[in-house]
Structure 1
């Protein structure tokens, strides 16, 4: 696919590397109704109150499902892909709301409740949505903040369920994701490697001109295949 290159950088593995677990997922989908390239314009994206950066903003008028969640002051828009088996869900907070505040409130249960069919109304919407590419990499700090710390420490890590001997620990969890959103649709690719070593308003308008969250969801199962944050071009 040639989207993710050099998942493991030089020096990640050495003579003490015991094993590498690799997981890969790839998605490419065309919008049910594409954006017209001729309507794409360069506009300022509000990174923060005091900073703006230019971005290519796409535009289309379509009938889309949308709702507003009062408790987090956020609009939610569904952008379906061809065949309606998958959706991109975009969560756009009001301009005065920090994206981090919305992220703190999200749980799976709340997310499912916000996406209830009875809550999502189909209406004609003017959609302004940026064309963008995203990549991200390092996962060690993220995993540690979630509470998984002992697995990275020699002497504390316990992998006795996998190995009969002691002394094994994780050295790296490397995640590389590529997401491209354009007028035709979305292309997304993600790989994760776990390296183990032994010691050694009007017409309704949805204008994503400031930071937002996005999710690619499988409709029938409600499973989230990809999720991301777009906060700066």
Structure 2
């Protein structure tokens, strides 16, 4: 039997043009939530929050960013070449009731994002296969026609060359944000295929923060430790809600790019993020996102500038959300006439947040190797993000990126 190593790399960067930002001369008129909450959105949301919670629980460094949608897309592609218990686990983990529903949902997502304006969003899939191997016919057809994947032959007996080829593709698709997606220690001459996914988002805040108002303020790492952080400041009538159930309050920052927004979830307590993560892993975040509404007053927002680089060991995380058989049971329909399994899975990610907007990206790869409003408005709402918090980037009701910032 062959084995597949899943290499899932994500990059998210909230940073755009350099230099000072001119202060806004008018309030924006946000058109509201003109998109629907769907069954697929709920499924992606819950699977994403479960994965993020497990990462938050198991990692020592609680600064985390991930693009779970990249993982879910490649799992659904993997299921095209797997049956039985492997496929059943994947169907359940991604929140579908059967294979046809999963296939239709995730191929529709892949197509939708693949054909968006590449100036702000890129989603691309690619399948590399050893030059002495062939993909199974049905798998190849579905990868190309339904997941919009490119297919390329690679000589994996020359690991350095194979690594360079894959990294060049990831670098180009993420506009230079991911340069070392794959390293030679995970590619060797036993590899037979690599399945890859890239998601890259580059957006602009609807109203940028004024860089001249960014100053150092206190950030409470925990109840006993306070540090200084560069805090951005914005005064706008944002969408807002308080959730006693979560023990948190939330605001939404829309992007100029239609349908994209970032949600910040601020726990009520300095040490409240762990509790919030437990709750969203059980019920998802989307219900609270769709409960956001105009605050009816200005929000005085303080949000730290921050940068996160994180790596996730998906060999450990995926079994925690119910996907384990990909690591042990043979999938017969990916490489022609050769059963395969997953040997390694991980994700690399980064995020950088500043005054102007967002750039976010994700590279996901599977490597296959042989194994054996009021006239007199009320006072402004103070929303000081001065403690560990959760953030997410969505397009309409689909969660694209999520993470936690703690220090």
Question: What TM-score, normalized to structure 1?
Answer: 0.87
Q: What does residue 194 of structure 1 align with?
A: 366
Residue number in structure 2 paired with 1:113: 287
CA contact (8 A) 2:271 2:388 kept: no
* 1:167–1:199 Cα contact (<8 Å) kept: no
User: Against the structure 1 CA distance between its residues 151 and 163, is the aligned structure 2 distance closer, same or farther, given a 3 Å change threshold?
Assistant: same
Give unmatched runs, 5+ long, in structure 1: none
* Higher relative contact order, structure no. (Cα contacts within 8 Å, ≥ 6 residues apart): 2
SS at match of 2:341: strand
More displaced 10-residue stretch of structure 1: 133-142 or 58-67 = 133-142
Matched, 1:176 2:353: no
| Conserved 8 A contact 2:222-2:271 | no
- Is residue 2 of structure 1 aligned with residue 176 of structure 2? yes
The alpha-carbon deviation at position 167 of structure 1 amounts to: 5.4
Any idea what the Cα deviations from partners look like across 1:13-38, whole Å, max 9, x if unmatched? 10111111110011111111111111
Deviations 1:150-201 (A, max 9, x none): 322xxx3221233465652212223222322110111111111222221149
Which runs of at least 4 in structure 1 moved beyond 6 Å after TM superposition? none
CA RMSD after TM alignment: 2.2
SS at match of 2:331: coil
Q: Which residue of 272, 275, 288 corresponds with 1:98?
A: 272
Q: How does 1:1-233 map to 2 (within 5 A)?
A: 1-106=175-280, 111-116=285-290, 119-122=292-295, 123-138=297-312, 139-152=314-327, 156-163=328-335, 165=337, 168-200=340-372, 203-219=380-396, 222-232=397-407
Whether the aligned pair in 1 keeps the contact of 2:334 and 2:340 (CA below 8 Å) is no
* Kept in 2: contact 1:133–1:180 (CA 8 A): yes
Partner Cα distance (1:100, 1:111) in 2? 14
The gaps in structure 2 that reach 5 residues or longer are 1-174, 373-377
Number of residue pairs the alignment of both structures matches: 226
Contact 1:129 1:209 in 2 (8 A): yes
CA shift for structure 1 position 83: 4.8
Distance 1:59 1:224 in 2: 25
Q: If the length of structure 2 is used for normalisation, what is the TM-score?
A: 0.52
Deviations 1:199-229 (A, max 9, x none): 149520111111111111113xx11111111
Contact 1:27 1:189 in 2 (8 A): yes
